[in-house]
Structure 1
Amino acid sequence: MKTGIIILAAGESSRLGYPKQIAKYKEKTLLQLAIDAANGSTADKRVLVLGANRDEIKKTFPGASIPNIPNPHFSKGMSSSIKIGLEYMLKFDRPDQVIIMLCDQPFVDAKILNKLIATQEKEGKGIVACAYSKTVGVPILFGSAYFKELMELKGDEGAKQIALAHEDDLVTISFPKGKVDIDTEEDLKELNS
């Protein structure tokens, strides 16, 4: 099974006031932590989707470290980045499954991504999601049977609703720290304290 990873990092970070992709945790930007996790995993291919503040963000990581593509429609919400990332993957890499991850979950590492892949191999389900805060969420793995639904998402719809609509084909892995994401300066202070 060929696995692709799509890192979504196109958002405007309106609540933080500056690009959260370049906010720092443990001497690294949140985006660099996400890139390191993807590059350290057993996935075959990876792509980073950038949007708002793209030029500023691109200066903060070595361009050769991961293929990155622009999402000119980032203001239309997360679904537009999922589509652009998936289109890129299908055109160049033809994966059997993709993992969708964000750049604002500082505790996502290669181990968690590898666990998604290993759990899919073991359980044979079409969707493997992380479980935290009494719900399911990203990082989340989708088999190719769900690519069409991912392409049909609208606005700020994320992949979670597809997972919840197919609970019979869903397996979860426990990731309590998945609930930590950075939206505000307070989140960042709390994380770094």
Structure 2
Amino acid sequence: MKTGIIILAAGESTRLGYPKQIAQYKGKTLLQLAIDAANGANAEKRVVVLGANRDEIKKTFSGASIPNIPNPNFQKGMSSSIKIGLEYMLKFDKPDQVIIMLCDQPFVDSKLLNKLIEAQKESEKGIVSCKYSKTFGVPILFGKAYLKELMQLSGDEGAKKLALAHEDDMEYVSFPKGKVDIDTEEDLRDLNL
């Protein structure tokens, strides 16, 4: 089973006031932490989707460490980044499943991404999602059966809407720290305490 990982890192970080992708935690940028997690996972292909502040962000990581592609329509919301990342994967690598992850969840690591892949193998479900704070969300794995539907998302719809429509085909991996994401300076301060 061939797995692809798409890191969504195209947002404008309006609440933070500067690109959250380059915010620091434990001596690394949030995006670098996401790249390290993806590179350490048992996946065949990885890609970062960049948008706002692309040139500034690209200077903070080695282009050789992971392919990165631009989303010129990043203002159209998260779905546009999912589609661009998926188009890239399908064109070059034809994965059997993809994991969608964000760059602002500092506690996502390769062990967690591998747990999603393992949970899919064991459960044979088409979707494997992280569970936290009485909800579920990213990182989230979608099998081949859902890739076409992912390509049809629009606006600020994330993958959650699609997952909700197919809850009967979903397995969960517990990830309590999944509720921690960085949107404001305060979030970053709390993280670094």
Q: TM-score range by the shorter chain?
A: over 0.9
Which residue of structure 2 lines up, in the alignment, with residue 111 of structure 1? 111
Q: Distance in 2 between matches of 1:128 and 1:146?
A: 12
Distance 1:156 1:186 in 2: 24
Offset at residue 172 of structure 1 (A):
0.4
Runs of 4+ in 1 over 3 A off after TM superposition: none
- State the 1:161 CA deviation: 1.1
2:134 counterpart residue number: 134
CA distance in 2, matches of 1:172, 1:162: 15
| Structure 1 residue identity aligned to 2:146 | Y
1:5 aligns to what? 5
Structure 2: runs of 5 or more not aligned: none
- d(CA) in 2 for partners of 1:110 and 1:101? 12
Instruction: Output the CA distance in 2 between the equivalents of 1:60 and 1:66.
Output: 12
The alignment yields a C-alpha RMSD, in angstroms, of 0.4
Which residue is equivalent to 1:96? 96
Counterpart in the other structure of 2:19 = 19
| 1:19 shift after superposition | 0.1
Q: Unaligned regions of 5+ residues in structure 1, if any?
A: none
Matches of residues 42-191 of structure 1 in structure 2 within 5 Å?
Answer: 42-191=42-191
Q: Secondary structure at the match of 1:163?
A: helix
Deviation at 1:149, TM superposition (A): 1.0
1:68 Cα offset (Å):
0.4
Whole-angstrom distance in 1 between the partners of 2:74 and 2:45: 22
Match of 2:35 in 1: 35
Instruction: State the TM-score, normalized to the length of structure 2.
Output: 0.99
Superposed CA deviations along residues 73-131 of structure 1, whole A, max 9, x for unmatched, are 00000000000000000000000000000000000000000000000001000000000
Q: Secondary structure at the match of 1:145?
A: helix
Whichever residue aligns with residue 94 of structure 1, its letter is: K
The 3-state SS of whatever aligns with 2:181 is coil
Q: Distance in 1 between matches of 2:130 and 2:107?
A: 12
* Range with greater deviation from structure 2 (144-153 or 24-33): 144-153
SS of the equivalent of 1:91 reads helix
- Provide the C-alpha distance between the structure 2 equivalents of 1:164 and 1:28, rounded to a whole number of angstroms: 34
Aligned equivalents of 1:138, 1:153: Cα separation in 2: 16
Deviates more, 1:173-182 or 1:160-169: 160-169
In 1: Cα distance, 2:151 partner to 2:15 partner: 27
| One-letter identity of the residue aligned with 2:70 | P
Partners in 1 of 2:166 and 2:48 — Cα distance? 27
For 1:19 and 1:104, locate their aligned partners in 2 and report how far apart those are by CA, in whole Å: 11
Distance 2:82 2:120 in 1: 21
Question: Take 2:105 and 2:174, find their aligned partners in 1: how far apart are those partners?
Answer: 15
